[in-house]
């Protein structure tokens, strides 16, 4: 049994719309699991060394529910295109390079190091169709100590020959080979089934993926209702589907049955689709920066929350240009405010409390008991020294947290813990 105590200004979500603050609180941790938050140490803990972070803020680790590792290298470019042109002109040619293992090794090193140095503690990651490169990414992520789900992407149609699997059998066969190669190999990294999106996957492939999902009990991640051009295309490809989400659901790949799903975007999810997502217990990855960059639109997050849907945040690099989930939080607030001003005065904008919950507790729940400082939750935490921002030292804890969300970068991060283990080591005084 190992015990540890972290002390500092604790900030976490007590409820979906309410932050909680504990000044100079002690976070009691046993075997990587939070036991409680106390102002004074209980007798039984008095012998345990305290890692005291002084006036630093300590928050739950941020969760990125949707990111593309191979796209990291071209983030911030090609922002004059819409989704389908952007995929063809920018994304597919870059992803095709990951056939080369030496290239993947180099490029994924840049990605994993930057992710390690960010405030993100857990992520759900798309790789490419390539089996060796996907394994390289998993090995590198494992070495950081972060937790993540990584998907070898499936795509057997509507992409260039350099980035297309040769039919459903090859795609499914490679997926099984990949799963067998990962089995029992990682402590921190897990595989996740990753059909890219409906236009990339034939019906026969979707059927095979469902069989694989049942056999290996896998979660699934994909894209849904992101951009108008894509929606039209899906209608042509699947005229029998009632709506886009139904095209996944027909194959049993919209979650449920102990195999949860993350669907990224849902910008154009109407009432029927929302209802189905609720029935299937889907996690929505809201990716506001990507939705701005690719001119996709603004997702109706307020409607999702009112309906009781689970909504986490995604960077969607490289649709999104920043890896930062702080940035995703503030973008989510900002686009919701524009939506309220320009389109619908009845749709209340999102608050800091709400987006903080999305980035920590809601995203974290995809991984189990993750994202809160409550008993039984795994200790994922980020320690932030905000002296660069709070120069006059005259702000409340809430103001300091708000400013950190809007303005901080890696410079503020002094330590990061995932499931109790340090991923960024605190520099001892």
Kindly determine how many residues on this chain lie close enough to bind Fe ion according to the rule CB under 5 A: 1
For the four alpha carbons of 159, 162, 168 and 171, in that order, the dihedral sign comes to: negative
> What residue 226 binds from ligand GUN, Fe ion, none (CB within 5 to 8 A, per partner kind)?
ligand GUN
Least separation in angstroms between residue 342's CB and Fe ion is 25
CB 401 within 8 A of CB 56: no
> What residue 191 binds from Fe ion, ligand GUN, none (CB within 5 to 8 A, per partner kind)?
none
Q: Is 223 in the site for ligand GUN (CB under 6 A)?
A: yes
**Residue with Cβ nearer ligand GUN (146 or 287):** 287
The stretch among 83-91, 235-243, 297-305, 395-403 that binds ligand GUN (CB under 6 A) is 83-91
- Identify which of 130, 189, 180, 135 has the alpha carbon closest to the alpha carbon of residue 154: 130
The stretch among 8-16, 313-321, 365-373, 412-420 that binds Fe ion (CB under 5 A) is 313-321
130's CB contacts (< 8 A; 6+ apart) are: 98, 99, 104, 152
> What residue 400 binds from Fe ion, ligand GUN, none (CB within 5 to 8 A, per partner kind)?
none
Report the C-alpha gap between 181 and 175 in whole angstroms.
10
Least separation in angstroms between residue 71's CB and ligand GUN is 6
> What residue 115 binds from Fe ion, ligand GUN, none (CB within 5 to 8 A, per partner kind)?
none
Name the residue number minimizing CB distance to Fe ion: 316
Among 196, 280, 327, 372, binds ligand GUN (CB under 6 A): 196
Q: Is 197 in the site for ligand GUN (CB under 6 A)?
A: yes
Q: Is 316 in the site for ligand GUN (CB under 6 A)?
A: yes
Among 156, 165, 226, 249, binds ligand GUN (CB under 6 A): 226
Residues within window 249-288 making contact with ligand GUN, judged by CB under 6 A: none
Among 62, 63, 87, 125, binds ligand GUN (CB under 6 A): 87
- Identify which of 39, 1, 36, 41 has the alpha carbon closest to the alpha carbon of residue 23: 39
Q: Is 291 in the site for ligand GUN (CB under 6 A)?
A: no
- Identify which of 144, 25, 139 has the alpha carbon closest to the alpha carbon of residue 418: 144
Kindly determine how many residues on this chain lie close enough to bind ligand GUN according to the rule CB under 6 A: 11
**Residue with Cβ nearer Fe ion (316 or 386):** 316
Least separation in angstroms between residue 94's CB and ligand GUN is 10
Report the C-alpha gap between 131 and 142 in whole angstroms.
17
- Identify which of 373, 371, 369, 368 has the alpha carbon closest to the alpha carbon of residue 358: 371
Q: Which residues pair with 221 in a beta bridge?
A: 262
Name the residue number minimizing CB distance to ligand GUN: 319
Q: Is 91 in the site for ligand GUN (CB under 6 A)?
A: yes
DSSP string, 147-202: EEEEE-EE--SSS-GGG--SSHHHHHHHHHHHHHHHTTT-SSEEE-BEE--GGGS-
Tokens of 208: 């095979």
Report the C-alpha gap between 208 and 213 in whole angstroms.
9
**Residue with Cβ nearer ligand GUN (115 or 423):** 115
Among 273, 316, 385, 412, binds Fe ion (CB under 5 A): 316
**Residue with Cβ nearer Fe ion (48 or 81):** 81
Q: Is 319 in the site for ligand GUN (CB under 6 A)?
A: yes
Report the C-alpha gap between 24 and 22 in whole angstroms.
6
CB 246 within 8 A of CB 233: no
The Cβ of residue 106 has, within 10 Å, a number of other Cβ atoms equal to 12
Residues within window 145-164 making contact with ligand GUN, judged by CB under 6 A: none
Q: What are phi and psi of 221, to 5 degrees?
A: -135, 145
In the complex, the residues that contact Fe ion under the rule CB under 5 A are 316
In the complex, the residues that contact ligand GUN under the rule CB under 6 A are 68, 83, 87, 91, 196-197, 223, 226, 290, 316, 319
């Amino acid at each position: 049994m190992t015990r540890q105590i972290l002390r500092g200004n604790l900030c976490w979500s007590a409820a979906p719309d309410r932050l909680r603050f504990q000044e100079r609180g002690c976070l009691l941790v046993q075997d990587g699991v939070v036991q409680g938050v106390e102002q004074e140490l209980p007798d039984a803990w008095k012998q345990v060394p305290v890692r005291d972070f002084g006036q630093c803020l300590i928050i739950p680790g941020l969760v990125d529910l949707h990111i593309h590792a191979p796209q990291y290298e071209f983030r911030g470019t090609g922002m004059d295109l819409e989704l389908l042109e952007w995929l063809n002109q920018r994304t597919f040619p870059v992803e095709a390079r990951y056939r080369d293992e030496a290239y993947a090794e180099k490029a994924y090193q840049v990605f994993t190091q930057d992710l390690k140095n960010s405030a993100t503690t857990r992520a759900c990651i798309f790789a490419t169709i390539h089996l060796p490169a996907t394994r390289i990414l998993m090995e590198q992520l494992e070495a950081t100590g972060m937790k993540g789900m990584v998907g070898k992407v499936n795509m057997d149609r509507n992409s260039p020959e350099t980035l297309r699997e040769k039919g459903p059998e090859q795609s499914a066969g490679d997926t099984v080979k990949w799963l067998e190669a990962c089995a029992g190999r990682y402590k921190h990294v897990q595989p996740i089934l990753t059909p890219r999106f409906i236009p990339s996957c034939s019906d026969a492939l979707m059927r095979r993926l469902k069989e694989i999902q049942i056999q290996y009990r896998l979660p699934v991640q994909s894209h849904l209702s992101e951009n108008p051009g894509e929606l039209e295309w899906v209608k042509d490809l699947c005229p029998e589907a009632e709506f886009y989400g139904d095209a996944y659901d027909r194959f049993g790949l919209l979650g449920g049955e102990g195999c949860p799903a993350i669907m990224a975007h849902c910008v154009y999810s109407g009432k029927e689709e929302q209802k189905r997502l609720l029935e299937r217990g889907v996690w929505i990855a809201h990716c506001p920066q990507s939705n701005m960059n690719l001119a996709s639109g603004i997702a109706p997050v307020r409607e999702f929350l009112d309906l009781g849907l689970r909504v986490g945040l995604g960077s969607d690099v490289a649709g999104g240009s920043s890896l930062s989930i702080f940035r995703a939080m503030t973008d989510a607030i900002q686009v919701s405010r524009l939506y309220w001003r320009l389109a619908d005065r009845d749709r209340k904008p999102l608050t800091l409390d709400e987006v903080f919950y999305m980035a920590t507790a809601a995203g974290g729940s995809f991984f189990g008991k993750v994202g809160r400082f409550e008993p039984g939750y795994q200790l994922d935490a980020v320690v932030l020294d905000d002296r660069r921002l709070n120069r006059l030292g005259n702000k409340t804890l809430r103001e300091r947290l708000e400013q950190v969300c809007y303005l901080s970068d890696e410079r503020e991060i002094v330590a990061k813990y995932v499931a109790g283990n340090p991923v960024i080591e605190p520099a001892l005084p």
